Structure 1
């Protein structure tokens, strides 16, 4: 005869497991499903689902509620719990686990924190990780699943879709990953039921429609289910949360290279290939910056270290991304090369999207909607351009940056190279480049009219943002011998180049355009005059006085022939600047007075203010401080009225310098701090450099030599980078005065020698107002050290290149002052 336990176990089985046992206890208690639901605080549907087996594996809390409502004795409680446990074990599906990573994830701390919070705290039930191919979506997904696994009691399931070629294969792949038999998504939903699990669909880009349909059904039918997706394109389902996976962080300065995630990844992967580049992090930084922090690109580049030096690798990448291939043998084509990764996305585009994608490669450094509408062929409206750009953004082939109320669109450099190849294969490169150049020529000429006045800062910023596109347009006009475009574009940009410190580049553009336009037709006479004015101005700012004079005299003749009084006045103003820096103050004053008369005859208040300012500048350089102050205050007041930021900055610099030489250091500091703040806000580098220079002198006069060194060093760096050797020499002499005050007489002699060499090369004397300070410093130095030591230090300074002077004595001078910061 069977035992009571065996009989009860048999009865449980006959009753249909947990559901049957629950039904028997309910009936023995004389309760309906409604009655049990009311006593247990559950829904009637929940009771029915448990009894019929539609809901399996009840939670421990639910079991306690049921046992209490049924008033079960302890043995019956234990049997009910055991039956539930058996069902739990049988109900857990044999889920496919994510593949174990072959290497540790580098960085991604911020990304992991953000995404795991969204899933683990059930802030969203559908999270899509998106971004371009090679950005590391799959690797991040694996890390996320590992982090959140404990938050999903019924497990996490990996559904790999990259190998699929047919949308009809998505459902069978999902069923196989879950370990269930199902032909329809409804069947899968029934078997998942209320299970608390995470489904992870990896690489959905080519199956977006199929995956979206399946996810929509599962999310609706399975209330405890969460879904994680990696895709270059969004599913666009209600409730979808999107996380754009960024590139790895790049080095933000040369002193913290090892903190960069991109650098760390390259180093780790290179070491894994048998080469340790930790001693060449500067070159590694050059590589990862070129690759814009893209993980796949970095790994492919690091793999090349088995046959290339880092320098060779960096140089090759500057030319082409073609070497980014040769991934692991087991990798799919889209992971074996960057070309393959992009090609995989490109293959999913419609014909219209492919054509747009190729044409967008003409832009460098991004573009706006207005630029795209004007440059793209076949696009008839902003709405059409916006729609097509939006589709490419959704597919992660372009990224969107919103700044200052304007949306701007970019392609990663490696994607742009691929798109440019497509444009060449279509035979559309030349036509697209011409449309691009024409658009940016019109932008430059429009901007030119706003670079004087209250909108100056806004338009300077706009041109600065478009500088890469302006360079491409300029290169096209020169390469194709488009004389008119070259002259107009270079001429339209010279003032921008002057204000933003692009002296050398602007000069090169103008000189090449003028060379091209030697035999330009008469109708381009005005464009040639403007180009000569610009070339002369930028040569003057780089202290190439002979070249500046030749260009400006040519421009003067051309403007006079054209009867252009405004152009003539501007040229006279620039010639006055050349005379001023060469120490011919009488000629400078005459030229500025002549310029003033022309501006006055035209009623040009801005021009008149500039003439007053330049006359004040000449006056303070020659030591006539009272006249200088009167002139510059008048200029300052006018500049405030007309809204000329550059002019206002210069008048404040002049007034600050005048106050400083007049002994009023408090007023000088106030004026110079105002000019510094204004110049920094405008991005006006010359104004920044001059303000720092004069503030350094103020601090030196106060005896605050440490602060003076800091300000003067910054000023020297700016002037040196700009190419302004005239002012660099004055700053060197001020640094020499500080060095002497700090008892570093030999180094002071070195700096004085360096300044003397600069002045001899550019053939410009010490400004009259600065002569007394220089002579006092020189006398103090000569009195402090032996004649032989002085001559050695002076000669070392004259022999040192200006770019190296801030690094202290060059090796082999025999001096003890060889430190980076000898002051």
Structure 2
């Protein structure tokens, strides 16, 4: 029933509390708490809590809803409002609101959805947003409170803790933010809990990392006493409170290879902030993508970089960042000191570390591309094989640094792996340099990875070949750093041993050029070093092999002959046999098949004398390879089948791939294209699984020939183009020439006659430079193609196209640029 305020005088309600007055109006209206809640659009709990009495007045909006639902007249509404004000004590009831963000939040849709779900749906009562300094925790928290704030009937309370230096000041700061006078006393946290009571409030504690212990204690007490309270904390370190839910704020998404850079949140943030300063990077999006990739999507770093566009172009900025992050400092006059630069942001976290944590943090900067727990323990202990105590100590310290957002952890393949953001690693490296222990730590780092490389080397021919290749590939950046230190420090023994241990990996994974440089530099460094005879012999062998693979036949022969002399002097029969095998490979590619066969037979005899089944299988395979190149398919098939069967038993993936390639080539030259395709597809799949790039390139080459023989020239072009790209990237010019000649055959069949002449000229130019003739087995197709072209073109047109090909670099030919002297049809891809 409507109330007109006439049934009771003002004296009757003068001393009545808000809760009692509300209950009286509800009963007069004949409503239950549920009924009033439904009419007012409030929760039943909210109505019950208001009637029980609170020390904080409901908001004006809530009072209006209640007045409308109860159909109160003006006098009753005024009395209800007055009672609320009396009970609420305005001096104690105002919550500190969140600050208004200065900029719009970009690219955090998924993060807002997930964190909003957890808090808004009461999935968790304490949510900690964690992550390194500068990742955007506070900005995400501000956006989050703006989105879910209305779901908390009694509001959002923002408590900034960054300015607080003393743990004892946290409770008074929270008390003041919640509307209590900042009084002192042992019961202050209880006073805050009593003030909050059963109200549904979101309490935001921003920047807890330097006050973790006390912040955690207060959070635990408040959550226990206030059943409807939710807490959102931002902290670089976890609070470790029971029931804490953690959300690691990731960096902004970087441009993916398959997407336009403009769609990347990291790129959009840079463009937005640079544009706000009047420096919109029009036409420089690729350079912007380069910048944000270097900054790994860190919002603070991106904003600091965007601010530098007032004095640098984006391209200049990208170039500067390749060497240092030092330019990203002092670009804001209003930011907090810890946000003035990246060094300030990281230094804030560093200052909170204990001495042992700082030591490990600095030493971990020696790793490049991540590390394992065992590697970290080895560097910390100064030994390649750390013991249980060192591992336990490193595990504990690593755990603390992970919790403090200074290192990241990933879990793939059942192994935890750690790394640092580049900006954090640079800061840590600075601390290591300041300690004066940089060289000692680098030496420990190199010792560990030398031991790893030498252990891996023993597994690169067996059943676990693929796993060990992957392991070395995963540590390639660390291996590079170890080699760089050894060369820089003139540690000749370490350098030559490491380079020698890695040459087989460099071959199998296609790092020909890099491996060659390591071997050559280490051999020069170790030239006058005493001892190291076996290590030098191995390095000479590796240098010769990688030079051979890049068709540097003279260098390869010199290195291999030197290795042969050293192994013979050492009485190392296995080494001698292996070098003979490699010298046979050089002779094979130069068209000297008799010498190649002789060397492979001598190699076989030596391996047989040792009972080395793997060496014997490789000798069979090499003899079969020579046989099919010179056109003796029957002998080739017999040799390669023996090799294949042995490699299957031995579990040698590389050997098996080669045997299958040879058998596939033999089948296609014999005219059995179905068998050829089956064998070559098997070798392709195996090579791809191993990451064996030469095997992939050869398989694609031979499959392209199979498709061309079938008349499927479009498919042939696709396969041959892929093969050419692989061979070119590897530096294998001998095989690149053969693929170009095969492409010329396809071009002639597709009536691209001048382009076919151009390709033959390009192949001929390569062969002249490297001194390798057309293999005997390929001569018939080569001659038939040339004769067909010469019949279709007059002499002048043929010479012009052929000469243009000879003058064009392989890189240009492979990218489909026929050359300036070519006729119009040569500018068209096959």
Asked if Structure 1 and Structure 2 have the same fold, meaning a TM-score greater than 0.5 normalized by the shorter chain, the answer is yes
| 1:274 aligned to which of 270, 274, 278 | 278
User: Compared with structure 1, are the counterparts of its residues 401 and 661 closer, same or farther at alpha carbon in structure 2 (3 Å cutoff)?
Assistant: same
Q: What whole-Å deviation, never above 9, does each CA across 1:152-181 have from its counterpart, x for those lacking one?
A: 222222222222222222223323333333
Please name the residue that 2:171 is paired with.
171
> What is the CA distance between 1:571 and its match in structure 2?
0.3
Partners of 1:532 and 1:552 within 8 A in 2 = yes
Please name the residue that 2:503 is paired with.
494
Please name the residue that 2:344 is paired with.
340
Please name the residue that 2:450 is paired with.
441
Q: Distance in 2 between matches of 1:766 and 1:501?
A: 24
> What is the CA distance between 1:696 and its match in structure 2?
1.6
> What is the CA distance between 1:277 and its match in structure 2?
2.8
Q: Distance in 1 between matches of 2:500 and 2:748?
A: 46
Q: What whole-Å deviation, never above 9, does each CA across 1:761-807 have from its counterpart, x for those lacking one?
A: 11111111111222222222233334333322222222221112133
User: Compared with structure 1, are the counterparts of its residues 57 and 138 closer, same or farther at alpha carbon in structure 2 (3 Å cutoff)?
Assistant: closer
Please name the residue that 2:661 is paired with.
653
Tell whether 2:308 aligns with 1:304: yes
Partners of 2:58 and 2:154 within 8 A in 1 = no
| 1:264 aligned to which of 251, 268, 276 | 268
Please name the residue that 2:394 is paired with.
385
Please name the residue that 2:131 is paired with.
131
| 1:193 aligned to which of 181, 197, 200 | 197
Please name the residue that 1:94 is paired with.
94
Q: What whole-Å deviation, never above 9, does each CA across 1:375-405 have from its counterpart, x for those lacking one?
A: 1148952111100011111111110111111
Partners of 2:17 and 2:83 within 8 A in 1 = no
Please name the residue that 1:455 is paired with.
464
Q: Which shifted more, 553-562 or 353-362?
A: 353-362
Tell whether 2:603 aligns with 1:595: yes
> What is the CA distance between 1:409 and its match in structure 2?
1.0
Q: Distance in 2 between matches of 1:710 and 1:8?
A: 96
Tell whether 2:517 aligns with 1:508: yes
Q: Distance in 1 between matches of 2:25 and 2:423?
A: 68
3-state DSSP of counterpart to 2:127: strand
Q: Which shifted more, 606-615 or 305-314?
A: 305-314
> What is the CA distance between 1:212 and its match in structure 2?
1.3
3-state DSSP of counterpart to 2:751: coil
Q: Distance in 2 between matches of 1:341 and 1:51?
A: 47
Q: Distance in 1 between matches of 2:420 and 2:568?
A: 47
Partners of 1:612 and 1:632 within 8 A in 2 = yes
Tell whether 2:797 aligns with 1:789: yes
User: Compared with structure 1, are the counterparts of its residues 793 and 333 closer, same or farther at alpha carbon in structure 2 (3 Å cutoff)?
Assistant: farther
Partners of 1:197 and 1:224 within 8 A in 2 = yes
Partners of 1:393 and 1:400 within 8 A in 2 = yes
Tell whether 2:6 aligns with 1:5: yes
Please name the residue that 2:333 is paired with.
329
3-state DSSP of counterpart to 1:5: coil
Partners of 1:740 and 1:748 within 8 A in 2 = yes
> What is the CA distance between 1:576 and its match in structure 2?
0.8
> What is the CA distance between 1:59 and its match in structure 2?
15
> What is the CA distance between 1:350 and its match in structure 2?
0.8
Q: Which shifted more, 306-315 or 805-814?
A: 805-814
> What is the CA distance between 1:49 and its match in structure 2?
8.3
Partners of 2:337 and 2:344 within 8 A in 1 = yes
> What is the CA distance between 1:27 and its match in structure 2?
13
Please name the residue that 1:692 is paired with.
700
Unaligned stretches of 5+ residues in structure 1 = 34-41, 68-72
Q: Which shifted more, 653-662 or 80-89?
A: 80-89
3-state DSSP of counterpart to 1:279: coil
> What is the CA distance between 1:558 and its match in structure 2?
0.6
| 2:426 aligned to which of 417, 435, 455 | 417
Superposed, 1:708-719 pairs within 5 Å as 708-719=716-727
Tell whether 2:490 aligns with 1:481: yes
> What is the CA distance between 1:280 and its match in structure 2?
2.8
3-state DSSP of counterpart to 1:159: strand
Please name the residue that 2:39 is paired with.
none
Q: Distance in 2 between matches of 1:27 and 1:87?
A: 18
| 2:715 aligned to which of 695, 704, 707 | 707
> What is the CA distance between 1:312 and its match in structure 2?
2.5
Tell whether 2:160 aligns with 1:151: no
> What is the CA distance between 1:309 and its match in structure 2?
2.8
Q: TM-score, structure 1 length as denominator?
A: 0.91
3-state DSSP of counterpart to 1:243: strand
> What is the CA distance between 1:418 and its match in structure 2?
1.1
3-state DSSP of counterpart to 2:532: helix
Q: Distance in 2 between matches of 1:624 and 1:25?
A: 105
Q: Which shifted more, 559-568 or 97-106?
A: 97-106
Superposed, 1:243-258 pairs within 5 Å as 243-253=247-257, 256-258=260-262
Please name the residue that 2:785 is paired with.
777
Q: Distance in 1 between matches of 2:470 and 2:26?
A: 79
User: Compared with structure 1, are the counterparts of its residues 630 and 88 closer, same or farther at alpha carbon in structure 2 (3 Å cutoff)?
Assistant: farther
Please name the residue that 2:628 is paired with.
620
> What is the CA distance between 1:254 and its match in structure 2?
7.3
3-state DSSP of counterpart to 1:809: coil
Please name the residue that 1:70 is paired with.
none
Q: Distance in 1 between matches of 2:84 and 2:662?
A: 84
Partners of 1:808 and 1:817 within 8 A in 2 = no
> What is the CA distance between 1:271 and its match in structure 2?
2.6
User: Compared with structure 1, are the counterparts of its residues 402 and 667 closer, same or farther at alpha carbon in structure 2 (3 Å cutoff)?
Assistant: same
> What is the CA distance between 1:629 and its match in structure 2?
1.4
> What is the CA distance between 1:43 and its match in structure 2?
12
Q: Distance in 2 between matches of 1:546 and 1:272?
A: 60
3-state DSSP of counterpart to 2:102: coil
Q: Distance in 2 between matches of 1:604 and 1:84?
A: 99
Partners of 1:15 and 1:24 within 8 A in 2 = no
> What is the CA distance between 1:586 and its match in structure 2?
1.2
Partners of 1:55 and 1:194 within 8 A in 2 = no
Please name the residue that 2:36 is paired with.
none
Tell whether 2:535 aligns with 1:527: yes
| 2:479 aligned to which of 470, 481, 491 | 470
Partners of 1:745 and 1:784 within 8 A in 2 = yes
Q: Distance in 1 between matches of 2:557 and 2:289?
A: 43
> What is the CA distance between 1:572 and its match in structure 2?
0.7
Q: Distance in 1 between matches of 2:592 and 2:194?
A: 94
Q: Distance in 2 between matches of 1:412 and 1:584?
A: 53
Partners of 2:363 and 2:441 within 8 A in 1 = yes
Q: Distance in 2 between matches of 1:45 and 1:245?
A: 33
Partners of 1:747 and 1:822 within 8 A in 2 = no
> What is the CA distance between 1:724 and its match in structure 2?
0.7
Partners of 1:300 and 1:324 within 8 A in 2 = yes
What RMSD, in angstroms, separates the aligned Cα atoms of the two structures? Answer: 3.2
User: Compared with structure 1, are the counterparts of its residues 736 and 110 closer, same or farther at alpha carbon in structure 2 (3 Å cutoff)?
Assistant: farther
| 2:813 aligned to which of 768, 784, 805 | 805
> What is the CA distance between 1:759 and its match in structure 2?
1.0
Partners of 1:232 and 1:396 within 8 A in 2 = yes
| 1:536 aligned to which of 529, 532, 544 | 544
Tell whether 2:730 aligns with 1:726: no
Tell whether 2:15 aligns with 1:14: yes
Q: Distance in 1 between matches of 2:258 and 2:720?
A: 22
> What is the CA distance between 1:660 and its match in structure 2?
1.5
Q: Distance in 1 between matches of 2:578 and 2:332?
A: 64
Q: Distance in 2 between matches of 1:632 and 1:147?
A: 69
> What is the CA distance between 1:78 and its match in structure 2?
12
Please name the residue that 1:111 is paired with.
111
> What is the CA distance between 1:332 and its match in structure 2?
1.5
Q: TM-score, structure 2 length as denominator?
A: 0.91
